Amino acid sequence: MPVLPELAAVLAAASARTRPEPPGGGPVLREAARGYWDRRGLHGAAGGIAAAPGAQPLLLALIGAHGGDVLMPRPCPAAWTPQARLLGRPAYHVPTPAECGGVPDPYALLETVRRVRAEGGRPKLLLLSVVDDPTATVAPPELVREACEAAVGEGLHIISDETWRDTVHRPRDTVLLSPAEMSPDDVTVINDLSGALVPAAWPVAVARFPDTARAAVRHARTLDILTALGALVAGPVAHAAAHALGEPDSVRDRVRRAAALQAEVAAAAHRAVLGSGALARPPQAGRHLYADLGPLRSRLADLGVTDSMELEEYLTDRLGAPAPGGHRFGDELGALRVRLGTGPLLGNTPHQQTEALAAAKPLELAHVARALDDFAAVFRALR
Protein backbone atom coordinates (compact mmCIF):
# COMPACT_ATOMS: atom_id res chain seq x y z
CA MET A 1 0.00 0.00 0.00
CA PRO A 2 1.16 3.58 -0.60
CA VAL A 3 2.63 5.41 2.38
CA LEU A 4 -0.03 7.16 4.45
CA PRO A 5 0.65 10.91 3.91
CA GLU A 6 0.33 11.68 7.61
CA LEU A 7 3.02 9.12 8.46
CA ALA A 8 5.26 10.43 5.70
CA ALA A 9 4.93 13.92 7.19
CA VAL A 10 5.80 12.65 10.67
CA LEU A 11 8.89 10.87 9.33
CA ALA A 12 9.95 13.94 7.38
CA ALA A 13 9.55 16.13 10.47
CA ALA A 14 11.98 13.83 12.32
CA SER A 15 14.50 13.57 9.48
CA ALA A 16 16.99 15.79 11.32
CA ARG A 17 17.37 13.16 14.05
CA THR A 18 20.85 11.83 13.42
CA ARG A 19 21.13 9.40 16.30
CA PRO A 20 19.50 5.99 16.47
CA GLU A 21 17.32 4.92 19.36
CA PRO A 22 19.03 3.27 22.35
CA PRO A 23 19.07 -0.55 22.36
CA GLY A 24 15.49 -1.76 22.73
CA GLY A 25 14.02 1.62 21.79
CA GLY A 26 13.63 4.97 23.51
CA PRO A 27 10.96 5.88 26.06
CA VAL A 28 8.52 7.42 23.55
CA LEU A 29 8.52 4.38 21.26
CA ARG A 30 8.26 1.93 24.17
CA GLU A 31 5.40 3.89 25.76
CA ALA A 32 3.55 3.94 22.44
CA ALA A 33 3.95 0.16 22.15
CA ARG A 34 2.73 -0.27 25.73
CA GLY A 35 -0.39 1.74 24.91
CA TYR A 36 -0.98 -0.26 21.73
CA TRP A 37 -1.02 -3.52 23.65
CA ASP A 38 -2.95 -2.01 26.55
CA ARG A 39 -5.83 -1.22 24.16
CA ARG A 40 -5.84 -4.92 23.24
CA GLY A 41 -6.12 -6.10 26.83
CA LEU A 42 -2.42 -6.88 27.31
CA HIS A 43 -1.44 -4.63 30.20
CA GLY A 44 2.11 -3.96 31.36
CA ALA A 45 4.84 -1.39 31.75
CA ALA A 46 6.92 0.34 29.08
CA GLY A 47 9.98 -1.16 30.74
CA GLY A 48 8.86 -4.57 29.48
CA ILE A 49 9.06 -3.50 25.83
CA ALA A 50 11.96 -3.96 23.40
CA ALA A 51 12.19 -2.58 19.87
CA ALA A 52 14.49 -3.44 16.97
CA PRO A 53 14.87 -2.55 13.27
CA GLY A 54 12.59 -5.31 12.03
CA ALA A 55 11.24 -8.65 13.21
CA GLN A 56 14.23 -10.73 12.14
CA PRO A 57 16.88 -9.15 14.42
CA LEU A 58 14.34 -8.93 17.23
CA LEU A 59 13.37 -12.60 16.97
CA LEU A 60 17.03 -13.57 16.66
CA ALA A 61 17.72 -11.73 19.92
CA LEU A 62 14.73 -13.34 21.63
CA ILE A 63 15.77 -16.86 20.60
CA GLY A 64 19.31 -16.07 21.71
CA ALA A 65 18.04 -14.93 25.11
CA HIS A 66 16.46 -18.35 25.73
CA GLY A 67 18.28 -21.62 26.11
CA GLY A 68 17.34 -24.95 24.57
CA ASP A 69 15.77 -26.24 21.39
CA VAL A 70 13.08 -24.45 19.39
CA LEU A 71 9.72 -25.82 18.26
CA MET A 72 7.52 -24.21 15.61
CA PRO A 73 4.48 -25.11 13.51
CA ARG A 74 4.66 -26.49 9.99
CA PRO A 75 4.36 -24.42 7.86
CA CYS A 76 5.87 -21.34 9.51
CA PRO A 77 7.29 -17.95 8.45
CA ALA A 78 10.29 -18.36 6.19
CA ALA A 79 12.76 -16.66 8.55
CA TRP A 80 12.08 -18.75 11.66
CA THR A 81 14.04 -21.91 10.91
CA PRO A 82 17.16 -20.13 9.54
CA GLN A 83 17.30 -17.91 12.63
CA ALA A 84 17.25 -20.88 14.98
CA ARG A 85 19.92 -22.64 12.92
CA LEU A 86 22.06 -19.51 12.79
CA LEU A 87 22.19 -19.64 16.58
CA GLY A 88 23.03 -23.34 16.52
CA ARG A 89 19.65 -24.29 18.00
CA PRO A 90 17.92 -27.44 16.79
CA ALA A 91 14.53 -26.55 15.28
CA TYR A 92 11.63 -29.01 15.20
CA HIS A 93 8.45 -28.56 13.17
CA VAL A 94 5.11 -29.62 14.61
CA PRO A 95 2.06 -30.32 12.39
CA THR A 96 -0.88 -27.93 12.53
CA PRO A 97 -4.53 -28.99 12.58
CA ALA A 98 -6.69 -29.08 9.46
CA GLU A 99 -8.59 -25.86 10.19
CA CYS A 100 -5.68 -23.43 10.43
CA GLY A 101 -1.94 -22.86 10.45
CA GLY A 102 0.27 -20.99 12.87
CA VAL A 103 -0.54 -22.95 16.02
CA PRO A 104 0.60 -26.56 16.45
CA ASP A 105 -1.82 -29.38 17.09
CA PRO A 106 -1.68 -29.81 20.90
CA TYR A 107 -1.33 -33.59 20.80
CA ALA A 108 1.34 -33.44 18.10
CA LEU A 109 3.14 -30.84 20.22
CA LEU A 110 3.18 -33.11 23.26
CA GLU A 111 4.37 -36.05 21.19
CA THR A 112 7.14 -33.96 19.61
CA VAL A 113 8.34 -32.68 22.99
CA ARG A 114 8.51 -36.19 24.39
CA ARG A 115 10.29 -37.54 21.31
CA VAL A 116 12.86 -34.75 21.35
CA ARG A 117 13.57 -35.34 25.04
CA ALA A 118 13.86 -39.07 24.49
CA GLU A 119 16.50 -38.33 21.83
CA GLY A 120 18.46 -36.16 24.26
CA GLY A 121 17.14 -32.77 23.17
CA ARG A 122 16.13 -29.83 25.39
CA PRO A 123 12.92 -28.27 24.03
CA LYS A 124 12.48 -24.88 25.71
CA LEU A 125 10.87 -22.48 23.26
CA LEU A 126 7.72 -22.59 21.10
CA LEU A 127 7.16 -20.10 18.28
CA LEU A 128 3.62 -19.67 17.01
CA SER A 129 1.39 -17.14 15.23
CA VAL A 130 -2.33 -16.95 15.98
CA VAL A 131 -2.82 -14.84 12.84
CA ASP A 132 -0.58 -16.79 10.56
CA ASP A 133 1.89 -16.09 7.83
CA PRO A 134 2.04 -18.02 5.50
CA THR A 135 -1.42 -19.59 5.66
CA ALA A 136 -3.41 -16.36 6.25
CA THR A 137 -5.59 -18.13 8.81
CA VAL A 138 -6.68 -17.24 12.36
CA ALA A 139 -6.45 -19.98 14.98
CA PRO A 140 -9.70 -20.53 16.93
CA PRO A 141 -9.55 -19.65 20.65
CA GLU A 142 -10.04 -23.24 21.82
CA LEU A 143 -7.00 -24.38 19.84
CA VAL A 144 -4.91 -21.50 21.22
CA ARG A 145 -5.95 -22.44 24.75
CA GLU A 146 -5.14 -26.13 24.32
CA ALA A 147 -1.79 -25.46 22.63
CA CYS A 148 -0.78 -22.98 25.34
CA GLU A 149 -1.76 -25.39 28.11
CA ALA A 150 0.26 -28.16 26.45
CA ALA A 151 3.32 -25.93 25.95
CA VAL A 152 3.31 -24.41 29.43
CA GLY A 153 2.67 -27.80 30.98
CA GLU A 154 5.85 -29.05 29.35
CA GLY A 155 7.87 -26.06 30.55
CA LEU A 156 8.08 -24.27 27.19
CA HIS A 157 8.18 -20.50 26.88
CA ILE A 158 6.03 -19.17 24.02
CA ILE A 159 6.89 -16.44 21.54
CA SER A 160 3.68 -15.30 19.88
CA ASP A 161 4.20 -13.50 16.57
CA GLU A 162 1.19 -11.19 16.22
CA THR A 163 2.42 -9.18 13.26
CA TRP A 164 -0.77 -9.76 11.28
CA ARG A 165 -3.36 -9.32 14.02
CA ASP A 166 -4.49 -5.92 12.68
CA THR A 167 -5.00 -7.30 9.16
CA VAL A 168 -7.90 -9.65 9.99
CA HIS A 169 -10.27 -9.42 7.04
CA ARG A 170 -13.53 -9.53 8.99
CA PRO A 171 -12.76 -8.41 12.55
CA ARG A 172 -16.41 -8.39 13.63
CA ASP A 173 -16.78 -12.05 12.69
CA THR A 174 -13.40 -13.25 13.98
CA VAL A 175 -12.49 -14.02 17.60
CA LEU A 176 -8.78 -13.44 18.10
CA LEU A 177 -7.21 -14.67 21.33
CA SER A 178 -3.59 -13.87 22.09
CA PRO A 179 -1.61 -16.57 23.92
CA ALA A 180 -0.55 -13.80 26.30
CA GLU A 181 -4.17 -13.59 27.45
CA MET A 182 -4.14 -17.30 28.23
CA SER A 183 -0.69 -17.58 29.81
CA PRO A 184 0.49 -14.06 30.72
CA ASP A 185 3.61 -15.20 32.59
CA ASP A 186 4.81 -17.54 29.85
CA VAL A 187 4.36 -15.61 26.61
CA THR A 188 6.45 -12.96 24.86
CA VAL A 189 4.59 -11.16 22.06
CA ILE A 190 6.31 -9.80 18.95
CA ASN A 191 4.86 -7.49 16.29
CA ASP A 192 6.56 -6.39 13.08
CA LEU A 193 4.85 -3.06 12.42
CA SER A 194 5.17 -3.53 8.66
CA GLY A 195 2.30 -6.00 8.91
CA ALA A 196 -0.26 -3.20 9.17
CA LEU A 197 1.05 0.06 10.60
CA VAL A 198 4.15 1.25 8.71
CA PRO A 199 5.73 0.57 5.29
CA ALA A 200 8.10 -2.37 5.01
CA ALA A 201 10.87 0.04 4.02
CA TRP A 202 10.77 1.52 7.55
CA PRO A 203 12.02 -1.48 9.57
CA VAL A 204 10.75 -1.58 13.14
CA ALA A 205 9.35 -4.32 15.37
CA VAL A 206 8.41 -4.42 19.04
CA ALA A 207 8.26 -7.17 21.66
CA ARG A 208 6.25 -7.30 24.87
CA PHE A 209 7.71 -9.33 27.74
CA PRO A 210 5.79 -10.84 30.67
CA ASP A 211 5.86 -8.99 33.98
CA THR A 212 8.00 -11.52 35.86
CA ALA A 213 11.51 -11.62 37.31
CA ARG A 214 12.53 -14.32 34.83
CA ALA A 215 11.25 -12.24 31.92
CA ALA A 216 13.22 -9.23 33.18
CA VAL A 217 16.41 -11.29 32.88
CA ARG A 218 15.47 -12.33 29.33
CA HIS A 219 14.64 -8.74 28.48
CA ALA A 220 18.12 -7.68 29.60
CA ARG A 221 19.72 -10.50 27.58
CA THR A 222 17.70 -9.45 24.53
CA LEU A 223 18.98 -5.87 24.84
CA ASP A 224 22.55 -7.17 25.15
CA ILE A 225 22.17 -9.13 21.92
CA LEU A 226 20.58 -6.19 20.09
CA THR A 227 23.48 -4.04 21.27
CA ALA A 228 26.02 -6.59 20.03
CA LEU A 229 24.27 -6.76 16.65
CA GLY A 230 24.02 -2.99 16.37
CA ALA A 231 20.30 -3.56 15.83
CA LEU A 232 19.06 -0.07 16.67
CA VAL A 233 15.93 1.60 15.34
CA ALA A 234 16.63 4.72 13.25
CA GLY A 235 15.52 7.89 15.02
CA PRO A 236 13.11 9.15 12.32
CA VAL A 237 11.59 5.68 11.91
CA ALA A 238 11.06 5.40 15.67
CA HIS A 239 9.24 8.73 15.66
CA ALA A 240 6.91 7.60 12.86
CA ALA A 241 6.40 4.18 14.46
CA ALA A 242 5.43 5.75 17.78
CA HIS A 243 2.87 7.89 15.95
CA ALA A 244 1.44 4.82 14.18
CA LEU A 245 1.31 2.83 17.43
CA GLY A 246 -0.75 5.63 18.94
CA GLU A 247 -3.40 4.78 16.30
CA PRO A 248 -4.78 8.19 15.39
CA ASP A 249 -7.95 8.17 13.31
CA SER A 250 -6.09 8.32 9.99
CA VAL A 251 -4.02 5.23 10.85
CA ARG A 252 -7.05 3.32 12.10
CA ASP A 253 -8.96 4.17 8.94
CA ARG A 254 -6.11 3.08 6.67
CA VAL A 255 -5.71 -0.23 8.54
CA ARG A 256 -9.45 -0.89 8.35
CA ARG A 257 -9.76 -0.05 4.66
CA ALA A 258 -6.66 -2.03 3.73
CA ALA A 259 -7.95 -5.12 5.54
CA ALA A 260 -11.36 -4.83 3.86
CA LEU A 261 -9.72 -4.46 0.45
CA GLN A 262 -7.46 -7.46 1.03
CA ALA A 263 -10.51 -9.47 2.10
CA GLU A 264 -12.17 -8.91 -1.27
CA VAL A 265 -9.18 -9.59 -3.47
CA ALA A 266 -8.04 -12.60 -1.42
CA ALA A 267 -11.50 -14.15 -1.63
CA ALA A 268 -11.45 -13.74 -5.42
CA ALA A 269 -7.99 -15.29 -5.65
CA HIS A 270 -9.13 -18.14 -3.40
CA ARG A 271 -12.05 -18.87 -5.74
CA ALA A 272 -9.68 -18.96 -8.71
CA VAL A 273 -7.35 -21.42 -6.97
CA LEU A 274 -10.22 -23.72 -5.94
CA GLY A 275 -11.62 -23.55 -9.47
CA SER A 276 -8.48 -25.25 -10.76
CA GLY A 277 -8.95 -28.20 -8.42
CA ALA A 278 -6.24 -27.12 -5.99
CA LEU A 279 -6.82 -26.77 -2.26
CA ALA A 280 -6.48 -23.74 0.02
CA ARG A 281 -7.86 -22.70 3.37
CA PRO A 282 -10.06 -19.59 3.09
CA PRO A 283 -7.81 -16.58 3.78
CA GLN A 284 -8.79 -14.71 6.95
CA ALA A 285 -6.01 -12.14 7.32
CA GLY A 286 -2.91 -10.67 5.76
CA ARG A 287 -1.93 -10.43 2.12
CA HIS A 288 -1.25 -14.06 1.24
CA LEU A 289 -2.94 -17.26 0.22
CA TYR A 290 -1.41 -20.70 0.85
CA ALA A 291 -2.34 -23.20 -1.82
CA ASP A 292 -1.84 -26.96 -2.08
CA LEU A 293 -1.58 -28.07 -5.68
CA GLY A 294 -1.23 -31.73 -4.73
CA PRO A 295 -4.50 -32.67 -6.51
CA LEU A 296 -2.93 -31.35 -9.73
CA ARG A 297 0.25 -33.39 -9.41
CA SER A 298 -0.23 -35.39 -12.63
CA ARG A 299 -0.88 -32.31 -14.73
CA LEU A 300 2.07 -30.48 -13.14
CA ALA A 301 4.35 -33.48 -13.73
CA ASP A 302 3.52 -33.27 -17.43
CA LEU A 303 4.79 -29.68 -17.25
CA GLY A 304 8.03 -30.73 -15.50
CA VAL A 305 6.90 -29.63 -12.03
CA THR A 306 7.43 -32.32 -9.40
CA ASP A 307 8.32 -30.47 -6.19
CA SER A 308 7.80 -27.10 -4.50
CA MET A 309 11.04 -25.60 -5.87
CA GLU A 310 9.92 -26.27 -9.43
CA LEU A 311 6.40 -25.10 -8.56
CA GLU A 312 7.83 -21.83 -7.24
CA GLU A 313 9.76 -21.27 -10.47
CA TYR A 314 6.77 -22.20 -12.64
CA LEU A 315 4.24 -19.94 -10.90
CA THR A 316 6.62 -17.02 -10.37
CA ASP A 317 7.33 -16.97 -14.10
CA ARG A 318 3.66 -17.11 -15.12
CA LEU A 319 2.21 -14.85 -12.44
CA GLY A 320 4.93 -12.25 -12.79
CA ALA A 321 5.21 -12.02 -9.01
CA PRO A 322 7.06 -14.01 -6.33
CA ALA A 323 5.33 -17.29 -5.44
CA PRO A 324 7.59 -18.91 -2.82
CA GLY A 325 7.25 -22.66 -2.51
CA GLY A 326 6.24 -24.44 0.66
CA HIS A 327 9.80 -25.69 1.27
CA ARG A 328 10.66 -22.13 2.34
CA PHE A 329 8.09 -22.39 5.14
CA GLY A 330 9.11 -25.74 6.55
CA ASP A 331 6.89 -27.94 4.38
CA GLU A 332 8.40 -30.97 2.71
CA LEU A 333 9.98 -30.41 -0.69
CA GLY A 334 7.75 -33.00 -2.32
CA ALA A 335 4.57 -31.26 -1.18
CA LEU A 336 3.26 -29.04 -3.98
CA ARG A 337 2.42 -26.05 -1.78
CA VAL A 338 2.98 -22.37 -2.48
CA ARG A 339 2.30 -18.98 -0.92
CA LEU A 340 0.56 -16.58 -3.27
CA GLY A 341 0.68 -12.86 -2.59
CA THR A 342 -2.55 -10.93 -3.15
CA GLY A 343 -0.97 -7.47 -2.96
CA PRO A 344 0.21 -7.44 -6.61
CA LEU A 345 -3.41 -7.90 -7.74
CA LEU A 346 -4.21 -4.37 -6.54
CA GLY A 347 -1.93 -2.59 -8.98
CA ASN A 348 1.69 -1.93 -9.78
CA THR A 349 1.73 1.79 -8.99
CA PRO A 350 0.85 3.87 -5.91
CA HIS A 351 -1.89 5.54 -7.96
CA GLN A 352 -3.56 2.21 -8.82
CA GLN A 353 -3.27 1.00 -5.23
CA THR A 354 -4.73 4.24 -3.86
CA GLU A 355 -7.56 3.96 -6.37
CA ALA A 356 -8.29 0.43 -5.15
CA LEU A 357 -8.30 1.60 -1.53
CA ALA A 358 -10.85 4.31 -2.30
CA ALA A 359 -13.13 2.28 -4.57
CA ALA A 360 -16.52 1.11 -3.35
CA LYS A 361 -16.21 -1.94 -5.65
CA PRO A 362 -12.47 -2.47 -6.12
CA LEU A 363 -12.83 -5.74 -8.01
CA GLU A 364 -14.60 -3.85 -10.80
CA LEU A 365 -11.67 -1.51 -11.40
CA ALA A 366 -10.13 -2.23 -14.79
CA HIS A 367 -6.61 -2.91 -13.53
CA VAL A 368 -7.79 -5.12 -10.64
CA ALA A 369 -10.20 -7.09 -12.84
CA ARG A 370 -7.44 -7.60 -15.42
CA ALA A 371 -4.97 -8.79 -12.78
CA LEU A 372 -7.51 -11.23 -11.34
CA ASP A 373 -8.31 -12.56 -14.83
CA ASP A 374 -4.62 -13.14 -15.51
CA PHE A 375 -4.21 -14.83 -12.12
CA ALA A 376 -7.18 -17.10 -12.72
CA ALA A 377 -5.96 -17.99 -16.22
CA VAL A 378 -2.70 -19.38 -14.81
CA PHE A 379 -4.66 -21.79 -12.64
CA ARG A 380 -7.27 -22.62 -15.28
CA ALA A 381 -4.40 -23.87 -17.44
CA LEU A 382 -3.64 -26.52 -14.81
CA ARG A 383 -7.03 -28.19 -14.91
pTM score over 0.85: yes
How many other C-beta atoms lie within 10 A of the C-beta of residue 238?
A: 27
How large is the angle between the packed helices 366-380 and 308-319, nearest 10 degrees?
A: 140
- What is the per-residue pLDDT across 197-247, written as a single tens digit (0 to 9) for each? 999 999 999 999 999 999 999 999 999 999 999 999 999 999 999 999 999
DSSP per position, 179-216: HHHH-TTSEEEEEEGGGTTS-TTS--EEEE--SSHHHH
pLDDT for 354 beyond 90: yes
pLDDT at position 383, please? 87
Quick one: average pLDDT of 74-93?
Answer: 95
Average pLDDT, the chain: 96
- What is the per-residue pLDDT across 252-268, written as a single tens digit (0 to 9) for each? 999 999 999 999 999 99
How many other C-beta atoms lie within 10 A of the C-beta of residue 313?
A: 14
Cis amide bond preceding 141, omega within 30? no
Measured in degrees and rounded to the nearest 5, phi and psi for residue 50 equal -135, 140
pLDDT at position 2, please? 87
Name the band, by pLDDT with cuts 50, 70 and 90, for residue 317.
Answer: very high
pLDDT for 11 beyond 90: yes
pLDDT at position 66, please? 92
pLDDT for 56 beyond 90: yes
Please check whether residue 127 is in contact with residue 70, taking contact to mean a CB–CB distance below 8 angstroms: yes
Q: What percent of the chain has pLDDT over 90?
A: 97
pLDDT for 1 beyond 90: no
pLDDT for 8 beyond 90: yes
Helix spans in 320-365 (H):
350-358
- Give the sign of the dihedral formed by CA 266, CA 324, CA 135, CA 191: negative
pLDDT at position 67, please? 87
Residue of 336, 324, 292, 330 lying closest to 72 (CA atoms) = 330
Q: 252 CB contacts (<8 Å, ≥6 apart)?
A: none
Please check whether residue 245 is in contact with residue 32, taking contact to mean a CB–CB distance below 8 angstroms: yes
- What is the per-residue pLDDT across 164-207, written as a single tens digit (0 to 9) for each? 999 999 999 999 999 999 999 999 999 999 999 999 999 999 99
- The C-alpha atoms of residue 278 and residue 101 are separated, in whole angstroms, by 18
